[in-house]
Structure 1
Amino acid sequence: MKLVSWNVNGLRACVNKGFLDYFREVDADIVCLQETKLSEGQLTLAIGEEYEQYWNYAEKKGYSGTAVLTRIKPLSVRYGIEEDSEPEGRIITLEFEDFFLVTVYTPNAKRDLSRLDYRMEWEDRFLAHLSELDKRKPVIACGDLNVAHQEIDIKNAKSNRGNSGFTDEEREKMTRLLGAGFIDTFRHLHPDRSDVYSWWSNMPGVRDRNVGWRIDYFIASARLSPAIKDAAIHCDILGSDHCPVALDIF
């Protein structure tokens, strides 16, 4: 089973930059999207009847939003964490026969860290959500987690320490998540692979020089590790300031 996750940073713009070509080429069973920046009815995604489409729109127009496109019909779908709603459209949980799938667009702490406290609260609730699901069946969680966990996951670690996405607080929350029975699938298979990133600033030349951050992940219950066949980052795919990440499992 092939899964793909991609922060498209505005799906309408990404469609105009080759999204559908990539979607058809990658031929994934499940595709998870973050930062769709859509309101209901703004886009009809022509991907064929074989895919079920689930959308979580933010209340604020042109902001956040997540989606799941899946060939495998879920047993249930939930939007939000504690309740079946979430005003910023950041999370969707699908239950399948053998696992739960969670796609998430983690809140950014902002450049001035004004949202760091909210981010810390979100991290606690998110971990509790995954842990509760994991008690029932294994979990695969994917998306833009807005944190470069280790120095190997960011080009300029020293100069970025303390910046949003690379604060000690955010990195510690990721460490705690991975210590609670989950694994970073890419790092599990490629513990020493460096200079592989999933996000680059839009400043001129940054992506060409590969000055990036690895902030998009597939996280899985540790007991799924024997089933992981491959975890990849499709750095060559354009259309967003993020690139897709993929997981081949089962």
Structure 2
Amino acid sequence: MKLVSWNVNGLRAIVKKGFADIFESIDADVFALQETKLQAGQIDLEFPQYTSYWSYAQKKGYSGTAVFSKHQPLQEIHELGVPELDLEGRVVALEFERFWFVCVYTPNAQDGLARIDHRLAWDEAFRTFCKNLEQGITPASGRATSAKPVVMCGDFNVAHNEIDLKNPTANRGNAGFSDEERSSFTTLLNAGFIDTFRFKYPSLTGAYSWWSYRGNARKNNTGWRIDYFLTSESLQNAVIDARIYNEIYGSDHCPVGLTLEVH
């Protein structure tokens, strides 16, 4: 099963840059998007064989997530169940027969860590949400389900370790590489999830998924790896490959992918 995730940094903008051709050429079973930056009815985007599922922020032109799937889910969830955290359309969760698929766009801590408290509250609620899904517990809006593993993907807005960004020393303490965010991500992994890319390529350097638009960062590969596929530890043996599509342009992020063997 081929799974792909991409922070498109504005879906309406990237559609003008050949998004449809990229989408069709990748031919994923499930394709997740973050930072769609639109409301319902603002785009007409359909693909044969796929059904789409959308979460929208209350604020126009902000945040937003979506998932296109060839497989019909048993149910869909669009919130964590925490009202103050569910205003920005940051999650789409789909229950499939063998696993939960969760697309997430994690809040940015912002310059000077101005939003770090909100960010850490999100991390805790999201971790609880995913662990509950593993145990068959859904928010009030979802129906009861059996326990099953979780595959989560998206822009987690954190470079976990020094290997995950070009200039760790200069960025230590900044948003996306603060001790608080890195520790929170460690807590998520320690809750029973694996970073599939590092599982397959533990020592590969220069592997990034986001580059600033400034200073020729992408040309010089001065990047950060902040886009991930994580899976429940029980799926470890099902992980065939994880990759970063750094040859694909159109956003300040590139897509990331996971090949999973599930029956």
Q: TM-score range by the shorter chain?
A: over 0.9
The 1-side partners of 2:237 and 2:19 are apart by 31
> Which digits, 9 at most, give the CA deviation of each residue in 1:136-180, with x for residues without a partner?
100000000000000000000000000000000000011111111
Alignment of 1:202-241 (within 5 A): 202-241=213-252
Structure 1 runs (4+) deviating above 4 angstroms are none
> Which digits, 9 at most, give the CA deviation of each residue in 1:36-60, with x for residues without a partner?
0011111011312x11110101111
The 2-side partners of 1:190 and 1:83 are apart by 35
1:164 to 160, 175, 198: 175
Q: In the alignment, which residue of structure 1 is the partner of 2:59?
A: 60
> Which digits, 9 at most, give the CA deviation of each residue in 1:65-107, with x for residues without a partner?
0000000000000111016992100001110111001000000
Q: In the alignment, which residue of structure 1 is the partner of 2:98?
A: 98
Give structure 2 stretches of 5+ with no counterpart: 136-146
Q: In the alignment, which residue of structure 2 is the partner of 1:51?
A: 50
Per-residue deviation at 1:204? 3.6
The 2-side partners of 1:70 and 1:83 are apart by 26
Return the TM-score normalized by structure 2: 0.93
Larger deviation, residues 133-142 vs 27-36: 133-142
The 2-side partners of 1:205 and 1:97 are apart by 44
Aligned partner of 1:89: which letter? G
Return the TM-score normalized by structure 1: 0.98
Aligned partners of 2:159 and 2:176 also within 8 Å: yes
Aligned partner of 1:245: which letter? V
> Which digits, 9 at most, give the CA deviation of each residue in 1:10-68, with x for residues without a partner?
001111112111101000000000000011111011312x1111010111111000000
1:181 to 192, 195, 199: 192
Aligned partner of 1:205: which letter? N
Q: In the alignment, which residue of structure 2 is the partner of 1:190?
A: 201
Aligned partners of 2:82 and 2:125 also within 8 Å: no
Q: In the alignment, which residue of structure 1 is the partner of 2:160?
A: 149
Per the alignment, in what secondary structure is the counterpart of residue 53 of structure 1?
strand
Aligned partners of 2:172 and 2:178 also within 8 Å: yes
1:105/1:175 CA distance change after superposition, 3 Å: same
The 2-side partners of 1:220 and 1:174 are apart by 14
The 2-side partners of 1:128 and 1:170 are apart by 16
Aligned partner of 1:78: which letter? I
Per the alignment, in what secondary structure is the counterpart of residue 131 of structure 1?
helix
Aligned partner of 1:74: which letter? P
Per the alignment, in what secondary structure is the counterpart of residue 193 of structure 1?
coil
Q: In the alignment, which residue of structure 1 is the partner of 2:74?
A: 75
Whether 1:25 aligns to 2:25 is yes
Name the % identity: 54
Q: In the alignment, which residue of structure 2 is the partner of 1:130?
A: 130
The 2-side partners of 1:208 and 1:83 are apart by 41
Q: In the alignment, which residue of structure 1 is the partner of 2:141?
A: none
The 2-side partners of 1:223 and 1:75 are apart by 21
The 1-side partners of 2:134 and 2:51 are apart by 24
- Number of residue pairs aligned between Structure 1 and Structure 2: 249
How well do the aligned residues superpose, as a CA RMSD in angstroms? 1.1
Give structure 1 stretches of 5+ with no counterpart: none
Aligned partner of 2:180: which letter? E
